[in-house]
A and B are shown apart, each in its own frame.
Chain A
Amino acid sequence: MKNKKHLLSFPYLFWSAGFILIPLCMIFFYGFTDKQLHFTFENVASVAEPENVKALLISILLALISTAICVLLAYPLALILSRSAIKNSGFMIFVFILPMWMNFLLRTLAWQTLLEKNGVINMILSFLHLPNLNIINTPYAIILGMVYNFLPFMILPIYNALVKIDPNVINAARDLGANGLQTFLYVIFPLSIPGLISGITMVSVPALTTFVISDMLGGGKILLIGNVIEQEFKQANNWHVGSGLSIVLMLFILLAMGLTAKYDKEGGSYF
């Protein structure tokens, strides 16, 4: 039986070798060579340049903030949906995924239309004689864009984890005298951690590497590490430095995920 189960991993084993590992090797090859294809550490070391350090720090900060906001927004929502009396909360979950079916670029453009100085939101605010909202072209707009775009990635896994919890377990906790908060803290929350970690991964990684959102909502005034890498590839046509920086970014994310996994109660079962 055990062996048979392993067979299931074969398609992915070959797939990952061909389409993930080999391309990854190519990135490493570019990352550790210069234009004459001589071995060098310079590309990777270039992360220490002040501009790149700054971009990396801002990226990490913005990614952390938007991931935190996503958790704060998504968890209660997933909880409400999973515990709701609404029969078809599965349907509700679709309602939250649905906006993603409109093209990402179009949606981000739409946020511009909403947030601009003479945009829709400000028109409504001034109609109500309220002060204007001026967050377009600031880091706040970037965070908004990240939260907006990645929120569904947080809702979905948390909801999936919560909905799986056996109601009897919760009832048992209540019968044993736990109050609502205790039930949540000691029963519901620990059981939802795998989903939560899935969500954090799915949100924080794209948030860390994005460049479109910072370009369109940040007015191009804030340079994120994603912008730097994109610029190396697209404007400078320097694949070597671009690859070198990507490797550093990859290591960073791996490190962060390793740390997250340490706090995963299931003890390394996830990572």
Chain B
Amino acid sequence: MRSVCKKLYIAFILLLLYAPIITLVVLSFNASKTRAKWGGFTMKWYGSLFKNEQIMGALYTTLLLAILSALIATLIGTAAAIAMNGMQAKARMYFTAVTNIPMLNADIVTGISLMLLFLAFDAVFGFKTVLLAHITFNIPYVILSVLPKLKQTNRSVYEAALDLGATPVYAFFKVVFPDILPGVLSGFFLSFTMSLDDFIITHFSKGPGLDTLSTKIYTEVKKGIKPEMYALSTLMFMTVLVLIVLVNYIPDAGSKLQKEKALKE
């Protein structure tokens, strides 16, 4: 009974989260160009998608930007979180405050202020400026994901490792890092997601000719979203889904093997 309830609950939330996704997938097969009318089933948008150089270029920029900014933000953010965890209250105050600022501001404020900053330094607006901006708004998400994990780690285990002769770096990677890894990963994926989705900040920090999928979609709104965009979203979504399923089942098999080994020994 209880497990049925749980399953129903999970199903309900999944339905809430996936209803619009399903809608978008369905729309990608809609022969009519408008979302308001069903014009019959078609696969043609998937064909024209790959011929559309603009969309493909935007896809490349978006992915490169998301991966790079998430990686760099994760490195800087995790390091900062570790340092913050060991800090005295006053120093930590500065960091927590600073971390929260990009989240407090409306995107347009962050976007315009960054644009003014880049202007003051005479920077060439292009991929680099957008990357800097994305790293900036990603770091707080990493810190907010890692900090709670760090707080739950048991300091004495780390100290025990030190007492047993481990170097701090070794002890960190052997003892603390595995514990906070889920936080680091979720920070990375949150950053990746935020970077994928951002429009306003990208708009103000980008130069001419550089487009991400988000800026492309926003400019398309005026004349109607091109069905190719639905097709692309569907493909991206499916790719990630398949990847995650694969990644999930391969290590699972690995850990099973290890367990059997351990049992035998």
Contact = CB atoms under 8 A, between A and B. Distances in A.
Interface of A: 1-2, 4-9, 11-13, 15-16, 18-24, 26-27, 73, 76-77, 80-81, 84, 87-88, 90-111, 113-114, 120, 148, 151-153, 156-157, 160-161, 163-165, 191, 194-195, 198, 201-202, 205-206, 209, 211, 226, 229-230, 233-234, 239, 242-243, 246, 249-250, 253-254, 257, 266, 268-271
Contacts of B84: 9
B20 A107 contact: yes
A20 B24 contact: no
A156 B164 CA distance: 35
Interface string B49-92: 00000000000000000000000000111011011101101000
Nearest to B214: A103
Nearest to B151: A194
Given A22-B117, A239-B112, A80 B9 contact: yes
27 contacts: A4-B168, A8-B83, A9-B83, A12-B77, A20-B98, A23-B117, A26-B116, A88-B252, A90-B248, A93-B186, A94-B248, A97-B190, A97-B193, A101-B236, A101-B240, A102-B233, A103-B213, A108-B20, A110-B23, A113-B35, A114-B20, A164-B149, A198-B148, A205-B103, A233-B108, A233-B112, A254-B100
B104 A91 contact: no
Contact of B79 (A11, A101, A266, A271): A11
- Interface residue SS majority, chain B: helix
B248 A24 contact: no
A15 B149 CA distance: 23
Contacts of A16: 95, 98-99, 139
A102 B79 contact: no
Given A80-B9, A91-B248, A191-B152, A23 B79 contact: no
Contact of A106 (B13, B109, B116, B230): B230
A96 B20 contact: no
Contacts of B229: 103, 106
B215 to A, nearest CB: 11
Contacts of B213: 103
A148 B252 contact: no
Nearest to B243: A94
B4 interface: no
A151 B182 CA distance: 19
Contact of A8 (B82, B132, B248): B82
B114 A23 contact: yes
Given A105-B218, A111-B20, A250-B101, A269 B151 contact: yes
A109 B34 CA distance: 12
Given A11-B79, A211-B106, 8 more contacts: A15-B76, A19-B117, A84-B6, A91-B248, A98-B240, A114-B19, A160-B186, A226-B106
A9 B87 contact: yes
A239 B116 CA distance: 12
Given A6-B83, A164-B179, A77 B103 contact: no
A80 B9 CA distance: 9
Q: Which 10 A-B pairs have the closest CB atoms?
A: A23-B113, A9-B83, A110-B20, A12-B80, A194-B148, A8-B83, A8-B79, A110-B23, A19-B136, A16-B98
Question: Which of the listed residues B9, B76, B109, B189 has the most CB atoms from chain A within 10 Å of its own CB?
Answer: B109
B110 to A, nearest CB: 7
Given A105-B221, A160-B148, A246 B95 contact: no
Nearest to A194: B148
A209 B105 contact: yes
B96 interface: yes
Contacts of A73: 13
Nearest to A111: B20
Contact of A163 (B13, B21, B113, B182): B182
B164 to A, nearest CB: 15
A1 B17 CA distance: 46
B24 A107 contact: yes
B18 interface: yes
A180 B61 CA distance: 51
A119 to B, nearest CB: 9
Interface in B127-149: 132-133, 135-136, 139, 141, 144-145, 147-149
B20 A24 contact: no
Contacts of B98: 16, 20-21
